[in-house]
Amino acid sequence: MTPAAAAKLTCADIRADFNDPRAIVHYARAAHFLGLWESERLIVERHLPDRAAPLLEAGCGAGRVSVGLWHLGYRAITAFDFAEEMLDLARGLASERGADIRFEQADATDPLLCDRLADPARAGGQGGGFGGALFMFNGLMQIPGRESRRAALANLRRLCASGAPLIFTTHDRDESPSERARWIAEADLWAAGGQDPRFLEFGDCYYENEIGRTFMHLPDRAEIVADLDACGWGLEFDATRRDIAQESAAVRDFADECRFWVARRR
C-alpha cells in the first residue's frame, strides 16, 4: 500500500487498539492498584462537591476512575466505554469492590447516545440531566477527528443539567520546550505533505510501546477553548497536573504530564 492509499484512522481502529490484550492488562493493573490520582481527587472534590449528584463518566475504560469515585462517596454513577473488553474489566472491578455503578457500552460520538444513556431514575428525575460529566485520562483526545470530538462534547452537554461541570484532561503540545520543538518539526512535515497518511489533522500522533498502540490528538489551548465554546460549554478552569498536585512515582510512571480542564454547561 502506498502512503497515498493508506486508510484514515477511524473509531473502529481505536476500539481495536483498546481491545488489544496488552492494553487490557495495562489498564486493568492501573484500575486495581493505582486508583484515582491525587490531582483527579482534588479536582473532582472541588468542582463536584455534591456526592449525591448523578455523574456520567465517558470512556471509563477498566473502571479506575468510576470505582475511585464510588469510594469517595459518589453514589449515582453511570459510566460507559466503547471497548467491550475494558467494560468487562470495569464491571468485574466494581463487583469485587462492592460498587453499584451502571456500566453501558456506548460511543461518545454516537448521535443516539443521549437516548441510550438517559435514565431519569439515575439522572436527577424529571429530565434534569446528570449533575456532572467526566472524560478522564485524555479520553476525549483519543477520538480521531475534530468534528467527532465536538460531537462527543455536544452529546455530553445534552446529557447534563444546566450549570453542570465537565472535567477532562488532554496532553498539551505547548507543554514544554521539547514538545514545542517536536511540533514545529511536525508542522514542517505537514506543510510538505510528509505526515503519517493515517492522520486526520495536525496534532494527531501514535504512541507505540509495550502496551500496544495508543492514538492521541495533542491540541493547543486555543483549540480546546474554541471547541468548548462551539459546543455550549463555558471554560471555568484549566491547569497542568503538576500545578494541582504532586503525584506519586507510580502515577508519573503510568501517565505523562497532562492538563486538566473544567467547563460548565451553558
Q: How confident is the model at residue 125 (pLDDT cuts 50, 70, 90)?
A: very low
Per domain, the residue ranges of the chain are 7-265
HEC string of the chain equals CCHHHCCCCCHHHHHHHHCCHHHHHHHHHHHHHHCCCHHHHHHHHHHCCCCCCCEEEECCCCCHHHHHHHHCCCCCEEEEECCHHHHHHHHHHHHHHCCCCEEEECCCCCCCHHHHHCCCCCCCCCCCCECEEEECCCCHHHCCCHHHHHHHHHHHHHHECCCCEEEEEECCCCCCHHHHHHHHHHHHHHHCCCCCCCCCCCCEEEEEECCEEEEEECCCHHHHHHHHHHCCEEEEEEEEHHHHCCCCHHHHHHCCCCEEEEEEEC
pLDDT band per the 50, 70, 90 thresholds, residue 5: low
pLDDT at 82: 95
pLDDT 10s digits, 24-77: 999 999 999 999 999 999 999 999 999 999 999 999 999 999 999 999 999 999
pLDDT, residue 118, reads 79
Higher pLDDT: 126 or 39? It is 39
Q: Domain 7-265 adopts which CATH fold?
A: Rossmann fold (3.40.50)
pLDDT at 42: 98
Q: What is the pLDDT of residue 122?
A: 52
Question: Residue 75: what pLDDT?
Answer: 95
Average pLDDT, the chain: 93
Q: Is the pLDDT of residue 120 over 60?
A: no
14 with 142: CB under 8 angstroms? yes
Task: Determine whether 246 is exposed, middle or buried from the number of CB atoms within 10 Å of its CB (0-12, 13-18, 19+).
Answer: exposed
User: pLDDT over 90 for what percent of the chain?
Assistant: 88
128 pLDDT higher than 70: no
Q: What is the per-residue pLDDT across 214-241, written as a single tens digit (0 to 9) for each?
A: 999 999 999 999 999 999 999 999 999 9
pLDDT value, residue 124:
47
How remote is the C-alpha of 199 from its chain's centroid? Answer: 19
pLDDT at 209: 87
pLDDT band at 254 (very low <50, low <70, confident <90, very high): very high
